[in-house]
Amino acid sequence: MTSVQFYHNASNPLALACELLGNAHRGGRRAIVLCPDAEQARQLDRQLWTSPPGDFIPHVLNGSPLAAETPVVIGIAGEADWPHTDLLLNFAPEFPTACERFRMVVEIVGPTEAERVPARERWKRYKQEKFPLKAFDAERRIAL
Percent of the chain with pLDDT over 70: 98
- Specify the pLDDT at position 71: 96
Helix or strand holding residue 133 (H, E): strand 133-137
Q: How far apart are CA 24 and CA 112, in angstroms?
A: 26
Torsion angle in degrees (nearest 10) through CA of 34, 109, 125, 102:
40
Q: Model confidence at 56, in pLDDT bands (50, 70, 90)?
A: confident
Helix or strand holding residue 125 (H, E): helix 113-128
Characterize the bridge pairing of strands 3-8 and 133-137. parallel
**pLDDT, mean of residues 101-120:** 96
pLDDT in tens, 16-46: 999 999 999 999 999 999 999 999 999 999 9
Range of the structural domain that residue 7 is part of? 3-143
- Specify the pLDDT at position 50: 81
Mean pLDDT across the chain, nearest whole number?
A: 93
Q: Into how many domains does the chain fold?
A: 1
pLDDT in tens, 59-95: 999 999 999 999 999 999 887 789 999 999 999 999 9
Q: How far apart are CA 69 and CA 35, in angstroms?
A: 20
N-terminal to C-terminal alpha carbon distance within the chain? 22
Percent of the chain with pLDDT over 90: 84
Torsion angle in degrees (nearest 10) through CA of 23, 39, 36, 138:
40
Domain CATH for 15? 3.40.50.10110
Question: Is the pLDDT score of 110 beyond 90?
Answer: yes
